[in-house]
Chain A
C-alpha cells in the first residue's frame, strides 16, 4: 500500500472507550481487497470495541477509519452498510420470530425498493447456502447453531458488502461446528470475493486468515504477514495446548 492507494479498510491510531474508560489505545490495522484478516485477543482486549468503532456504533476519541479511500470515521452504521461494510455481530443477532427469508430480506434494507436486486441477492444467498433455501419459511429461532451462522452470514451478504466484519463466529460452537462456520467464511471469501475481518479468540481462525493482529489491553502487540501467520498460529496454539500440557493428573478409572 503506497500513499496514493489505501487498503480497503484502514484503521489509523484509534482511541475509543466508554465514558471515562478508555479501552483502545491507538489501534491501527488494515484489510486489503480479497484478504481474510484475523484480529485475535482475549476477553477485555478491546476486540469488540474495535469492531464497534469501525462500524460507527461507537464514536472514537481520536483516530481515523478509512473505507474505500474515504474517511468514514464518524459515519453512521447505516451509511457504512450502504457503502459496503457489513457486520455479523457476536451471538449472530438473529430475529428469532421472523422467518429465514424475512431475516435475509432485512439484510437488504439499505438496497431499498429495488426488488429485482433484492431477489438477485436472495438467490445468491440461497446458492451459497442451499440449506437456507430449504428452510426459508422456517422461523430463525428454530434453526440449529450452524444454520443460524449461515443465516447470519447470508443476511450480512444481502447488502452486497465488500468487507465483512465477523465478531466471534466460533463463540459457543463445538470444534466441528467452528470448522463449519469458518468454512462458510472461507467460502464467502473465495466464491464471492468478499474481504473479511475476523475478530476471534479461537486459534483455529488463524488457519484461514491471510494475516493476523494480536490485540492486548487495547493495543496491537504483534502482527503477522502471510508468511508469518503460521508461526503465530503455532505460538498461540501453544497457549491453547498449554492447558492440556499442564495437566498432570490421572482420571479415576470406574470400577
Chain B
C-alpha cells in the first residue's frame, strides 16, 4: 500500500470485512447457540490461505473458495470438543484455539510469512479501492444470504433445536453432534471468506491482524446487535465501526478524533445496550419497524376446541388429515402381532434407583392406552425408553422392530412422536417453524446443501410447509402460524405441541400429561381432541394422565404403575376399581372416585 491517507472506499471495505466476520459469528452464536471466542482466528486462516493462493498466482474466486474451505475445516475441528462438553467450556476451547493460532500458526514462515506478514498485490480488475469495495460488499451480501438461508432451512431448525435442548432435538429426529459441527463449519467458512476479503482489501496480513482482540470485537458486535439478528449485526457494525471512522477528525478546530476513542466508545455502547436493550439493536429496529409499518403479529385467541370446529369443514379436515398421514415409511406395514408397540420386561436403573422394574405393556393399533400412576412411578421414564432417552434392558418393539437397538433420532422416522411434560416446542420460535422442525425426518435433503439451495431443498421445504399448513388447519392454528410459541396462552401451547407432533405423520402419538395446568373445560376439549386424533387421524395414542375423568373416558385400556412396577391393567372399569390403584393413584377423595364412576357409567 502506498503511504497516503487511506481512501474512504478502503476504510469502508475494512468495515465491510469485519461485518462479514461478525455475520459469520452471528450464524454460530445466534442460531446454533455455540459460542466462539476464536472467530478472529478463523478469519486469519482464511486470510493466509487466500493470500498464499494469491501469491501463487491463482485468481481471486479460487483464493476465496480456498479460504472458505480452510476456514470451514478449521472451525469444524475447533468445534469437535463441543460434542463432549457444553457452554462455557466450549467457549474456552475456542479461545485456546484463537490464542494458539495467533501465537503459533500465524507465526509460521511458510503459512503467514512469519512476523513480517504476507503481502499480496490485488489482481487485475480489482486494483482500485473502489472495485475492491464492491467485492467486499458482495462478500457481506453472501454472509447475509448464508445466515438467512440457515435460518430458513432444515439446518437452522436443527441448530435451534439443539440450542434449546439436545435431548428434545433427538426426539425431533435431529442429531446434535453433526448439527453442531455443521454450524461450526458454515460459520468458519464464512469467516474464511471474510479473511480472504481482508487480505485482498488490505494487501497484507500479519499475525497481529487476527489476534484475540479481533475475536472479542466480533463478539461485541454480535451482542450489541442482538444475538441472532442480521439487521442488528449491520446496525451495530455501523454504530461501532463506521460511525467513528466517518466523523471528521476535527470539527471547528476542536480535535475530536473519535477513531482513536473507538474502543472506549464501543465498550460504553456494549454496556449501555446490554443493560438497557437485552434484545440488542436488532430488537429495537424490529419494534420500530412494527410501529411504522404496523405489527403483523396480533395476538389472536383461537380457543375453539378441535371438536367444536364447524362440521361442514370436517370433510376438508379429513382430506388434510389424510395428507398429513401420507409419509414414506422405512418399515414395512406387516406386523407379526396386533401390537403396534410392545414393551417386554423393560428395566431401567438410575444409580441405586430401580426406575422401571420388568414392565410389560402393549399398545394396539387404533387404541387409546392410558398410563397412570403417582408421581415418580416411572411413567415418563417409560416414554423416555420408547424415545431412546433412558438406558433400558428388555425389549421395546414397534411394528415388530426392536427400538432399543436403534439410534434415538431414528424413531420419528419409524412413526413415533411425543409431547413433553414441560413443553417440547421451541418457545422462541413461531408455531410454523416448530411444525417444520417436527417434520425434520421428512426433510430428506442434506442440511449443508440445503443452506446453499442445492438439491431438492426448495421443493422439500415447500412440501413441508404444505404439510405444516394442513396440520395447522386441522388444529385450528392457521391464523396463529407466525406467533411465537412462548407468547401463546397455555392451552394453545399444548395444542400447538400436539399439532407439531402430528405433522410429523406418526403412527403412535405419546402424550405426557397433556392436561397438566389446563382447566376442566379445556380438559374436556382435550378429551374430544384425543378421540378425534384416534378416529379422524387414525392415530394410536399412549397417554400419561392425572385427570381421572379424562383418562377414564378416553382410554380403551389402562396400565397403572407404582414405584416402577406395573400394579394393574385392564379397562377403565377394571383399573379404577382395583383397590391397589385406588390406594396408589386415585386416593380417598370422593370427588375423584365419583368422577371415575360417572365416566364409567356413561361409557
Interchain CB contact (< 8 A) of A168 among B376, B517, B585: B517
- CB-CB < 8 A to A239: which residues of B? 520-521
User: Which residue of the partner chain B has the closest CB to A238?
Assistant: B520
Task: Write the B153-194 contact mask toward A (1 if CB under 8 angstroms, else 0).
Answer: 000000000000000000000000000000000000000000
- Among B552, B585, B598, chain A packs the most CB atoms within 10 A around the CB of B598
Interface residue? A93 (CB, 8 A) = no
B372 in contact with A171 (CB, 8 Å): no
Interface residue? B373 (CB, 8 A) = yes
Residues of B496-552 whose CB lies within 8 A of A: 513, 516-524, 527, 531, 546-550, 552
- CB-CB < 8 A to B556: which residues of A? 251-252, 254
A240 in contact with B595 (CB, 8 Å): yes
B591 in contact with A171 (CB, 8 Å): no
User: Which residue of the partner chain B has the closest CB to A171?
Assistant: B517
B602 in contact with A244 (CB, 8 Å): yes
B contact residues, total (Cβ < 8 Å): 55
Interface residue? B571 (CB, 8 A) = yes
Residues of A147-193 whose CB lies within 8 A of B: 168, 171-179
Question: Would you give the shortest CB distance from B286 to chain A, in whole angstroms?
Answer: 16
B602 in contact with A43 (CB, 8 Å): no
Interchain CB contact (< 8 A) of A253 among B377, B552, B571, B592: B571
Task: Write the B563-597 contact mask toward A (1 if CB under 8 angstroms, else 0).
Answer: 00000000110000000000111111101101110
B592 in contact with A43 (CB, 8 Å): no
A178 in contact with B587 (CB, 8 Å): yes
Question: Would you give the shortest CB distance from A212 to chain B, in whole angstroms?
Answer: 15
Interface residue? B342 (CB, 8 A) = no
Question: Would you give the shortest CB distance from A232 to chain B, in whole angstroms?
Answer: 13
Question: Would you give the shortest CB distance from B86 to chain A, in whole angstroms?
Answer: 16
- CB-CB < 8 A to A179: which residues of B? 587-589
Interface residue? B248 (CB, 8 A) = no
Task: Write the A212-255 contact mask toward B (1 if CB under 8 angstroms, else 0).
Answer: 00000000000000000000010011011111111111111111
Interface residue? B400 (CB, 8 A) = no
- Among A203, A233, A236, A245, chain B packs the most CB atoms within 10 A around the CB of A245
- Known contacts: A43-B489, A239-B521, A241-B549. The answer to whether A207 contacts B589 by CB under 8 A is yes
A250 in contact with B367 (CB, 8 Å): no
CA distance A203 to B521 in the complex (A): 12
- Known contacts: A43-B519, A247-B553, A254-B557. The answer to whether A146 contacts B603 by CB under 8 A is no
A173 in contact with B490 (CB, 8 Å): no
A145 in contact with B375 (CB, 8 Å): yes
- Known contacts: A252-B556, A254-B364. The answer to whether A244 contacts B549 by CB under 8 A is yes
CA distance A253 to B519 in the complex (A): 30
A243 in contact with B586 (CB, 8 Å): no
CA distance A201 to B521 in the complex (A): 11
A251 in contact with B555 (CB, 8 Å): yes
Task: Write the B359-374 contact mask toward A (1 if CB under 8 angstroms, else 0).
Answer: 0000010110000111
A207 in contact with B603 (CB, 8 Å): no
Interchain CB contact (< 8 A) of A244 among B373, B489, B586, B599: B599
Interface residue? B354 (CB, 8 A) = no
User: Which residue of the partner chain B has the closest CB to A91?
Assistant: B422
B517 in contact with A174 (CB, 8 Å): no
- Among B364, B517, B527, B594, chain A packs the most CB atoms within 10 A around the CB of B517
A176 in contact with B603 (CB, 8 Å): no
CA distance A207 to B555 in the complex (A): 28
- Among B421, B591, B592, B598, chain A packs the most CB atoms within 10 A around the CB of B591
Question: Would you give the shortest CB distance from B322 to chain A, in whole angstroms?
Answer: 22
Interface residue? A144 (CB, 8 A) = yes
B557 in contact with A174 (CB, 8 Å): no
Interchain CB contact (< 8 A) of A245 among B546, B548, B592, B602: B602
A177 in contact with B374 (CB, 8 Å): yes
CA distance A146 to B589 in the complex (A): 17
- CB-CB < 8 A to B595: which residues of A? 240-241, 244
B372 in contact with A243 (CB, 8 Å): no
B552 in contact with A240 (CB, 8 Å): no
B586 in contact with A175 (CB, 8 Å): yes
- CB-CB < 8 A to A141: which residues of B? none
A-B contact sample (20 more), CB < 8 A, given A174-B375, A242-B520, A243-B547: A43-B489, A44-B489, A144-B375, A145-B376, A168-B517, A173-B546, A179-B589, A201-B520, A203-B591, A233-B591, A237-B591, A240-B549, A241-B595, A242-B524, A243-B550, A244-B596, A245-B602, A247-B554, A247-B599, A254-B557
Q: What are 6 of the A-B contact pairs (CB < 8 Å)?
A: A144-B375, A172-B513, A207-B591, A242-B520, A244-B598, A245-B599
